[in-house]
A = this chain, B = another copy of it.
Amino acid sequence: MNERVREILSWYGSDNPGTKTNLARMLNHGRLGGTGKMVILPVDQGFEHGPARSFAPNSPAYDPDYHFQLAIDAGCNAYAAPLGFIEGAAAEFAGRIPTILKVNSANSLSTNKDQAVTASVDDALRLGCSAIGFTIYPGSEDQYEMMEEIRELSLEAKSVGLAVVMWSYPRGGKLDKAGETALDVCAYAAHMAALLGAHIIKVKPPTDVLWQPEAKAAYEKANVDKSTLAARIKHVMQATFNGRRIVVFSGGEAKDLEGLFTEIRGLRDGGANGSIIGRNTFQRPRADALDMLDKIIAIYQGKM
């Protein structure tokens, strides 16, 4: 094992060798293997937005095999999906790429700010997954119930040697649209995921808004740099145990490729551990997606 992965694993001194092994599997897999950087392919949009909104733009993506193959061919570190998508192809692709079982899910027919727990740690084990993935909505009316669910799932996952990935998306309650991606709120969401015991944290790239008045005062007093995306990412990394937790960022809203690459450079320069990119990937023709991921990986490799 190379030095960087060994260093990252050293941050997780409280975990058992099983969990460390699964973290190492993800860190060592794919074209970024061994760099401490990760690109993860997540495909839960079918559940969240519906199948046609997700896959009609590129219809081979209706097939669960498609995503496994794409993640493998692109050299991603891991592939994340809900129960059925993993079940649908896990046997065929067994051992070819680490998988993250997304164990809760929302859908766009719902009105409340919550998710249903739709899979179990036992499912993750029987399907050969390396980790469970769980979304929390800090700020929502149901946030404490969600946190109590992940408390139990997380304890169980760690005890059987799985890693825990948390999607931390502020929404609901007092939060307005600007608040959901504000720098202070994003850093807070990442910090809470870390305190809840996540090994890998996924948040959205933050804007330069400061939303909570008391936080705004603290940021201004301490002169926290928020002028560039890289600066803001640096702050988020600091907020997650001074950079000692793996944090990956979602691709955010659809944008043109140059916009996307610019953003990835900002993530990289801020010290992010990587990207987790769904729609931007599988909604393009396969060749274009592979080309895009190739460039993203190159950015994280410092070649672009």
Interface: A109 (CB within 8 A): yes
Question: Hey, which chain B residues are within 8 Å of A195, CB to CB?
Answer: 46-47, 82-85, 105, 118
User: Contact string, A18-50, partner B, CB cutoff 8 A, digits 1/0?
Assistant: 000000000000000000000000000011011
Chain B residue nearest in CB terms to A145: B116
Question: Is A155 within 8 A of B123, CB to CB?
Answer: yes
Question: Hey, which chain B residues are within 8 Å of A59, CB to CB?
Answer: 222, 238
Minimum CB–CB distance for A90 against chain B, Å = 5
Beta-carbon contacts under 8 Å, A113-144 to B: 114-120, 122-123, 126-127, 138-139, 141, 143-144
Interface: A188 (CB within 8 A): yes
Question: Is A50 within 8 A of B244, CB to CB?
Answer: no
Given contacts A56-B221, A120-B151, contact A107 B64 (CB under 8 A): no
Chain B residue nearest in CB terms to A137: B109
Interface: A176 (CB within 8 A): no
Interface: A187 (CB within 8 A): yes
Interface: A227 (CB within 8 A): no
Question: Is B221 within 8 A of A57, CB to CB?
Answer: yes
Question: Is A191 within 8 A of B51, CB to CB?
Answer: yes
**How many angstroms from the CA of A53 to the CA of B170 in the assembled complex?**
18
Question: Is B221 within 8 A of A50, CB to CB?
Answer: no
Chain B residue nearest in CB terms to A57: B222
Question: Is A13 within 8 A of B109, CB to CB?
Answer: no
Chain B residue nearest in CB terms to A214: B53
Minimum CB–CB distance for A86 against chain B, Å = 7
Interface: A197 (CB within 8 A): yes
User: Contact string, A137-164, partner B, CB cutoff 8 A, digits 1/0?
Assistant: 0110101110110011001000100000
**How many angstroms from the CA of A213 to the CA of B146 in the assembled complex?**
29
Question: Hey, which chain B residues are within 8 Å of A239, CB to CB?
Answer: 51-52, 55, 62
Question: Hey, which chain B residues are within 8 Å of A50, CB to CB?
Answer: 184, 187-188, 191, 212, 215
5 example contacts (A-B, Cβ-Cβ < 8 A) are as follows: A15-B87, A52-B218, A52-B219, A55-B239, A84-B245
Excluding A85-B241, A111-B141, 6 further A-B contacts by CB distance (< 8 Å) are A46-B191, A52-B187, A53-B218, A62-B238, A84-B195, A109-B188
